[in-house]
Structure formats: C-alpha cells, structure tokens
C-alpha cells in the first residue's frame, strides 16, 4: 500500500469486454484511493464505467470481461490475483455491496431473518440461533420496527424503503471494512431516500466502514461524500474533496454536469445541457474523450490525452485548460457563481482562523 491511511488502492485499471463487435474498453486506466472511514462518491453517466469499476473490485464482472492491466490493493493483497474461492471469502465479509434495486436483490422465497443471518453462518460458521439473534439486533439497528415478529416475514411483505433497509442490514451484518453502494436510493422516493441516506451516515459512524458511493444524482453526492471522483468514458476526469468539486470544478465535463441539473431556485427558458452523447467505447476517440461535446475544447484535445493537472493537494483534473499555456476561459455562469461562493467561504474560514487563533493559544497556556 502506498499510504497507510488507505484501505483500498486501485492502480491503472483497464477492463475490456469482449463482444461480437470487438472489445469495448469500459475502464481505461483508472486509479484512485479509498481512505479509511471516508465516503468516496463516483459520479458519471450510464456507460461511464462506474459500476464496472466496483464490480471489478468485487470480482463480479460478467464472463466476457477481460482485466487487461492494473491492481486493486486491499490490505497488502491484490484482489485481482485472488481465486474465485478466495474472493467468496472476502465478499460479504470484508467488502459488501448494496445494490440499486431492493425489489430484485432479495430472495423472494427466503425469510428475511435467514437472508440477514446467512453471511454470519457462511463466513463465521455461526450456529443458526446465534446468527438469528444477531440478525434481529441488526434489524433494529437499521430501523425496522417490530423486528421480533417481522424477522419471519418474506420480502414482498415490505415496502421499497424497508426492503432497502434489509439489504443494508445484510451488507453490514459482518461489519465490512468497505461498503460499496451502487445507486442505493435511485429506486426510492425522495422522502424515503432521505431516510436511507441518514441511516447510512449514522451506521458509517457506528461501524466505521469506508464507503464507495456510486450515483448520478449530484444532490445526493453533495450530502454524502467526503471526496468525489467524476468519471467519463471509462476514465476519471476530475477528483477532489466534495467542496472542491462542487464549488471549484475545473473540468468542462464537471461544469456541464453541475449546470445541467436545475436547482430548486433555477429558472429561465433554456437549461444548460451537454450536447451530443457519450462516445462509443468500442473505438474510443484519441485525445480527450469529452472533446466532441465540449464547447471549451482546444485543438490539442483531439490529438493528445490530457494528463492530470494539480489544482490542490487533494484536487486533480485531466483537462488541457489547466496547462500553463492554455488560453484563459470563463466557465458557465452557474459555475462562476459557485466559485464566488467558494472564495467567500474560504475567506470566512481564514477570518475565523485569525479571530479564534489567539484564543486557542491562550487556552493552551492556561
């Protein structure tokens, strides 16, 4: 491991899918870290490779997937070198996943008590009685009311929100080090979504797990994430802390994503939108894959792929606009507003430090 604060390190990952039409280059050289206890959000459109990334971590890719290169280090072991048998020991024990659709991720013919207890019996060899007792505790923890009687119910007897709570209980019963949540609230109503997100935050504190949160909903990201990675066409194009990505984004794709989402106080006739559609990954374009849809594209974007440019110690973006020789451009109005807000926040923070600084020193002296 490069850094002892990391629980997971993904390096230079490339995944291709073999199809009749040729190789689909789904993941094109992706690297990222997951720190202990943090929530890392991966955002992007469908087909950007966010789900393939997590499925590769879990070892759950379809049989036509070919991992062309890379490593996924977890506790000094490379998950990509593990056998299927070894991965079975890790899934549901060290790394667990919450899937998008609570309607299809539960077994309709199995009592929910057994479904929640199963990981304990499989991974820890626990006896049924003890496992069910723990399952009951977990049900209470995730907020299923009247757990004693409901433990013998079947999934169809629960609402969508309750089912997602059950899925969370199954994922967390072994206190995994890493929880992967792939669009866990997309199928739910906003009010239920708010409950589930609060529950996830609460449980993260309680069992100190690290979360990889996959979603296309930037509103959810703003509330959940510590750090954000933006994916486009099989690559990470920008990553940083949640504040850096939302208030000081540098990549034109991030600009487009942020401005095409109406906020509750946006109005006007035309919603800024990203023109066109994502590229075909059977034959990815040379240079910056976003260039064709990018109003800010430079000539070099169609010729050469941009490397990551450093914005701050925690914030990197792969766009030629950050090159010292690049022309200065003005981002869309919405983004400028966000940057202004960020500047004010930074200022306020600096002022707060100045005023509270001496006070702290005095306390230390006492």
Pick from 65, 181, 212, 221: which binds another protein (CB under 8 A)?
Answer: 221
> Residue 43 contacts by C-beta under 8 Å, 6 or more apart in sequence?
50, 214, 215, 216, 218, 221, 228, 229, 230, 231, 257
Report the nearest approach of another protein to the CB of residue 277 (Å). 5
Min dist. Cβ of residue 191 to another protein (A): 5
The CB-of-48 to another protein minimum distance in angstroms stands at: 9
Residues 236-255 that bind another protein (CB under 8 A): 242-243, 246-247
Q: Could you tell me the smallest distance in angstroms from the CB atom of residue 331 to another protein?
A: 15
15: left (phi over 0), alpha (psi -120 to 50) or beta: beta
Closest to another protein by CB, 47 or 70: 47
H-helix segments, 208-332: 218-224, 242-247, 252-259
Alpha-carbon distances of 103 from 95, 129, 142, 156, 190, rounded to whole Å:
22, 27, 18, 8, 17
Binding-residue pattern over the window 330 to 359 for another protein, x denoting contact by CB under 8 A: -----------x---x--------------
269 binds another protein (CB under 8 A): yes
Q: DSSP letters of 208-244?
A: T-EEEEEES-HHHHHHH-SEEEEEETTEEEEEEEHHH
Report the alpha-carbon distance of residue 256 to residue 271 in Å, rounded: 11
- Nearest to another protein of 132, 246 (CB atom): 246
When asked if residue 22 is in the footprint of another protein (CB under 8 A), the reply is: no
Question: Which of 141, 211, 220, 233: binder of another protein (CB under 8 A)?
Answer: 220
Among all chains, which residue has been given the structure tokens 């200065």?
Answer: 328
Q: Whole-angstrom Cα distance, residue 297 to residue 67?
A: 31
Shortest Cβ 181–another protein spacing (Å): 15
Short-list 238, 232, 258, CA closest to 322: 238
Q: Does 92 bind another protein (CB under 8 A)?
A: no
Minimum CB–partner distance for residue 258 and another protein (Å): 6
**In the complex, which residues of this chain contact another protein (CB under 8 A)?**
45-46, 160, 189-194, 197-198, 216-223, 242-243, 246-247, 256-258, 260-267, 269-275, 277, 341, 345
């Amino acid at each position: 491991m490069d850094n002892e604060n990391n629980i997971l390190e993904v390096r230079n990952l490339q995944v291709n899918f073999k199809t009749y039409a040729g190789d689909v280059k789904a993941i094109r050289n992706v690297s990222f870290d997951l720190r202990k206890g943090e929530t890392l959000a991966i955002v992007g459109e469908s087909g950007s490779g966010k789900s393939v990334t997590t499925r590769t971590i879990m070892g759950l890719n379809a049989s036509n997937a070919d991992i062309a290169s890379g490593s996924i280090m977890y506790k000094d072991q490379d998950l990509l070198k593990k056998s299927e048998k070894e991965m079975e020991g890790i899934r549901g024990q060290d790394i667990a996943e919450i899937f998008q659709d609570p309607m299809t991720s539960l077994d309709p013919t199995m009592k929910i008590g057994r479904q929640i207890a199963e990981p304990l019996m499989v991974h820890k060899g626990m006896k049924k009685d003890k496992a069910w007792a723990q399952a009951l505790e977990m049900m209470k923890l995730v907020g299923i009311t009247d757990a004693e009687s409901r433990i013998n119910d079947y999934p169809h007897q629960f609402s969508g929100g309750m089912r997602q709570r059950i899925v969370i209980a199954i994922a967390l019963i072994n206190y995994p080090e890493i929880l992967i949540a792939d669009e866990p609230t997309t199928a739910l109503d906003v009010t239920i979504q708010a409950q589930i997100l609060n529950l996830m935050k609460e449980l993260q504190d309680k069992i100190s797990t690290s979360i990889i949160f996959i979603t296309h909903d930037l509103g959810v990201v703003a509330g959940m994430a510590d750090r954000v990675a933006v994916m486009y066409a099989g690559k990470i194009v920008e990553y940083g802390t949640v504040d850096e990505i939302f208030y000081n984004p540098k990549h034109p794709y991030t600009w487009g994503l942020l401005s095409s989402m109406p906020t509750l106080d946006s109005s006007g006739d035309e919603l800024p939108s990203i023109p066109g559609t994502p590229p075909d990954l059977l034959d990815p374009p040379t240079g910056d894959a976003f260039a064709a849809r990018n109003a800010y594209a430079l000539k070099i974007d169609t010729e050469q792929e941009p490397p990551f440019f450093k914005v701050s110690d925690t914030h990197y973006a792969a766009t030629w606009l950050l090159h010292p020789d690049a022309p200065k451009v003005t981002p869309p109005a919405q983004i400028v507003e966000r940057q202004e807000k960020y500047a004010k926040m930074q200022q306020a923070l600096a002022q707060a430090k100045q005023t509270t600084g001496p006070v702290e020193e005095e306390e230390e002296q006492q």
